Amino acid sequence: MTLLEIDKVGKRFGGLKALDGVSFAVEAGEMVGLMGANGAGKTTLFSLIAGNERPSAGTIRFAGERLDGLRPDQVAARGIARTFQIVRPFRGLTVRENARIGALFGADAARPSDAGGFAQAVLTDVGLDRQAEARAGSLTLAGQKRLEIARGLAQRPRLLLLDEVMAGLTPAEVAQAIAMIRRVKDKYGLTILVIEHVMSALMTLCERIVVLHHGEKIAEGPPAAVARDARVLDAYLGAGA
């Protein structure tokens, strides 16, 4: 079943063309990577899917329903959650309170009386249960990245958008994050679209990778095929690579 359909999507910011005619689909249960250099349009595409921005052209459908034009809260209510490249915890609240906020929104919002218990369960899944009463601002970068994921999971999404949740982590932390993402994907039956500059993580996690370059899709396919694609090599390494 096709869950997410991106069809000829474009986005302009004044005279700047951030995305141009991007099309691809994500099947239910897939983990698909979104790859490209800085400025390729990856996070802009996430913002269009999540309702933070509206496309200038094309359509975005989720489970057959058009998303383009909906507000972020309306998109969340349909079963989509996102993390942010720059972590955005409520620093003065506890880790549990941060996760509890996520549980109050989304496609299957918890009742306030149930939100705390569900938040604690999600924190256990991402390895933050022992830090539930700590202030979110006291977490390490790795901890704050995990909290971003926990807050997204607490929304009980069908589709989770992960935006560079491994950026800045040590190799050991990356390995732990990969294991955790696989675990929660299986437990919650998630479909995941992931932006990541840690290439080893993308190649390990994803069944398929979509490559953007200057706002256009230049390649799509299994990780091994994308890694050999001449257009991808040229974009990353320069002509003649």
pLDDT at res. 107? 63
Q: Which tokens go with 232?
A: 């991808």
Residue pair 35/53 in contact (Cβ under 8 Å)? The answer is: no
Per-residue pLDDT, averaged over 142-160, amounts to 94
The structural domains of the chain, with segments of one domain joined by +, span: 2-237
Q: Kindly give the pairing relationship between strand 191-195 and strand 65-66.
A: unpaired
Higher pLDDT, 170 or 88: 170
Give the predicted TM-score (pTM) of the model: 0.93
Distance CA 82, CA 10 (A): 20
Q: What is the DSSP track for 138-202?
A: GS-HHHHHHHHHHHHHTT--SEEEEESTTTT--HHHHHHHHHHHHHHHHHHT-EEEEE-S-HHHH
Task: Please state, rounded to an integer, the average pLDDT across all residues of the chain.
Answer: 92
CATH architecture type of domain 2-237: 3-Layer(aba) Sandwich (3.40)
pLDDT above 80: residue 181: yes
Distance CA 101, CA 85 (A): 19
pLDDT above 60: residue 89: yes
Q: Which tokens go with 106?
A: 């989304």
Per-residue pLDDT, averaged over 118-126, amounts to 91
Residue-wise pLDDT for 13-64, tens only, equals 998 999 999 999 999 999 999 999 888 999 999 999 999 999 999 999 999 9
DSSP reduced 3-state for 10:
strand
Token pair 């999971």 in the structure block, residue: 153
Query: Other CB atoms closer than 10 Å to residue 197's CB: what's the count?
Result: 16
Distance CA 196, CA 42 (A): 10
Residues sharing a CB contact under 8 Å with residue 83, sequence separation 6 or more, in sequence order: 145, 148, 149, 151, 152, 160, 161, 162, 163, 165
